[in-house]
Amino acid sequence: MQAAARQVLPATVYDYFMGTTEEGLTHTRNTSAFQQWSLIPKRLQGVQHPSTSVKVFGQEYSIPFGAAPVGMQQLFHSDGEYATTQACAYQGAPCILSTVSNIAYAKATKDAKIKPWFQLYPTDNFEVTKALVQKAEEAGAEVIVLTVDVPVLGKRKHNARGLLNTPEFAHLRFGNLDGLLQQRDNIHDSCLNWDQLAMLQEISSAKIVVKGILHPEDALQCLNMNIEGIIISNHGGRQMESNYSSIEALAAIKPQMPDEFPLFIDGGIRSATDVLKALLLGAKMVFLGRPICYGLAVGGMAGVMHLLELIKTDLTRNMQLMGIQDIGNRDPTQIIKTK
């Protein structure tokens, strides 16, 4: 799908979404770190119809993987975030929509039977943050995902502003920000701190999930503040060079947290065995960033559905090979660090 996306997209768009910060060491590590863990099948388990469904925050999902927030999805397909939302809802997959979506949350989700989570970039103006949260909640968002790993934008070779200045994409809007911010305003807040997280908790009636955690102390701080969940992430290696990989961070954080606390992860997940490894290491669900862009580019809603279907088929087969009946019921003895 990646190869197919490369064929259909302008090189500028492909380079933008595949891009990383600096030399891409964090992104490379995100994918390669999965190889450190090996899976140990249990035999004779008689798994005829494995169950891939999980329940999170009261919502039943048919598969434990879905779409990470990716901004500006109309760069990949004219249906943009609408297509991703619909594809995930049809597949019973979790979905997170970005603050910097081209299509506003309400419009992108109007037909969706499962409401996506809303990813929030807090600006340096709390009134704008409040308005973003309010609009998303009014449109049915029950989970707000606060991204905390972009106090400033990472050093990237291919940035979105360059693309938006080309005639081909000059018409694209930031739907959620319409009427709140000017197209070119800064949407990041370098002063973001724990107090602002507490302020967000006060103004929001949604569940709050914090995205971009890598340090166990930060995970514990979220727990202590009654945050409902965290997404362990380094922004797909787009923010900082030489970061801890997401999967290694998950393995470090999990033992320090109560077992029932929802940990999610994204970064470098490219196959069903990656999904399985993350779940066996303690993630409740996992999210895909760039692969969703591949699906979208190749076939809009059908492309994203197909991408999810491919991984689901592989996951089901791998569960049978592993002797796992229920994906929500992990046996940590089935994964081992081998190098």
The minimum distance between CB 21 and ligand FMN, in angstroms, equals 11
For the chain, what's the residue count? 339
Helix (H, G, I), strand (E, B) or coil at 150: coil
The verdict on 30 binding ligand FMN (CB under 6 A) reads: yes
Element containing residue 118 per DSSP (H, E) = strand 117-120
Which CB atom, from 243 or from 318, has the smaller least distance to ligand FMN?
243
Residues 282, 232: Cα–Cα separation, whole Å: 11
Q: Is 27 labeled as catalytic in the residue annotation?
A: no
The verdict on 147 binding ligand FMN (CB under 6 A) reads: yes
Contacts of 152 (CB under 8 A, 6+ apart): 188, 190
Question: Of 27, 158, 171, 235, which residue is the catalytic one?
Answer: 235
Give the one residue of 269, 272, 279, 308 binding ligand FMN; rule: CB under 6 A: 269
The verdict on 235 binding ligand FMN (CB under 6 A) reads: yes
The verdict on 98 binding ligand FMN (CB under 6 A) reads: yes
The verdict on 20 binding ligand FMN (CB under 6 A) reads: no
The verdict on 288 binding ligand FMN (CB under 6 A) reads: yes
**Subset of 115-134 contacting ligand FMN (CB under 6 A):** 119
**Mask 201-230, x = binds ligand FMN (CB under 6 A)?**
----------x-------------------
Give the one residue of 54, 88, 95, 100 binding ligand FMN; rule: CB under 6 A: 100
Retrieve residue 140's tokens.
Answer: 């049915």
The verdict on 17 binding ligand FMN (CB under 6 A) reads: yes
DSSP per-residue string spanning 191-253: T--HHHHHHHHHH--SEEEEEEE-SHHHHHHHHHTT-SEEEE--GGGTS-TTPPPHHHHHHHH
Angle among Cα 252, 255, 256 to the nearest 5 degrees reads 90
Looking at the DSSP assignment, which residues form a beta bridge with residue 26?
none
Residues 93, 111: Cα–Cα separation, whole Å: 15
The answer to whether the CB of 289 falls within 8 A of the CB of 31 is no
Which CB atom, from 213 or from 324, has the smaller least distance to ligand FMN?
213
Name the one range near ligand FMN by CB under 6 A: 198-206, 220-228, 232-240, 253-261.
232-240
Q: Catalytic amino acids? A: 235
Residues that bind ligand FMN (CB under 6 A): 17, 30, 68-71, 98, 100, 119, 147, 211, 233, 235-236, 238, 266-269, 288-290
